[in-house]
Amino acid sequence: MMRSFLPVFLCLGALCVLAAPLAAQSDNLRVSVANLTQDVRLLTQEVKTMRLEVEELHRENARLRKQVAAASSNRDTQSRIAELSSGLERLRREYRSADEAQKEQIISEISRQMNAFAKETQAAIDAIAEAVGSQPQIETPVRFSSDFPQTGITYTVRSGDTLSKIARDHGSTIKHIQNANKIVNPSRDLKVGETIFIPIAE
């Protein structure tokens, strides 16, 4: 009785061994997703900081405009106004340049991380598919019945014979022939030259 359960225990052990790498792959995916989420949060914080700097520049711009408006009536301040305007324009150019560079850097970093995550995900999917494909197939044991006619004839298998042909030619059934000769797989177990018993009801 214990020997009949041994293949089942071995198959269950093999499935447990295969499940361990799948769990490790799943853990790696969760770690990658967590890292990517943290990076996105950091990038979001940097964008918020840049927005605060933009708001400060807007306030500085408004203050400078007020100074320019207050001093525009004085001819002696014309050069100062031109200097302030030039400085303001320079600040705008520098901000636009820095802003574009920062955006490109953020987009490049996100693209790099997304590509790396996609490769890891594909590798995990391939590993899971390979593991599933390599799992052993557990065959259900065939149970033979003794409920067949005990009378009949012996027959030598010929080339081209099949169970259905033999049963039809001798007035028997495929099930009776399989049970009487314990044939699991007719296409593999039925051999030319082999002698089998054909049960025939009286």
Q: In this predicted structure, what is the pLDDT of residue 2?
A: 42
For residue 147, pLDDT over 80 is answered with yes
Residues of the chain above pLDDT 90, percent: 22
Identify whether residues 14 and 103 lie together within a single domain.
yes
- CA-wise closest residue to 199 among 158, 147, 149, 127: 149
User: Does a structural domain hold residue 146?
Assistant: no
Indicate which CATH number applies to the domain containing 170. 3.10.350.10
Identify whether residues 110 and 163 lie together within a single domain.
no
* Tens digits of residue pLDDT in 152-186: 999 999 999 999 999 999 999 999 999 999 998 88
pLDDT band at 11 (very low <50, low <70, confident <90, very high): low
Q: In this predicted structure, what is the pLDDT of residue 1?
A: 45
Identify whether residues 22 and 80 lie together within a single domain.
yes
Are the C-beta atoms of 121 and 29 separated by less than 8 Å? yes
User: Does a structural domain hold residue 77?
Assistant: yes
The total number of structural domains that make up the chain:
2
* Tens digits of residue pLDDT in 56-105: 888 988 888 888 777 666 676 677 778 888 888 888 888 788 888 888 88
Choice among 4-13, 20-29, 70-79, 112-121 with the minimum mean pLDDT: 4-13
Identify whether residues 157 and 127 lie together within a single domain.
no
Where do the DSSP E strands lie in 16-147?
A: none
Identify whether residues 43 and 119 lie together within a single domain.
yes
More confident residue, 30 or 89: 89
Q: Determine how many CB atoms are found less than 10 A away from the CB of residue 152.
A: 20
Are the C-beta atoms of 82 and 72 separated by less than 8 Å? no
Identify whether residues 101 and 156 lie together within a single domain.
no
Quote the domain boundaries for residue 46: 2-133
Identify whether residues 125 and 182 lie together within a single domain.
no
User: Does a structural domain hold residue 187?
Assistant: yes
Bridge partner residues of 154 (DSSP)? 197
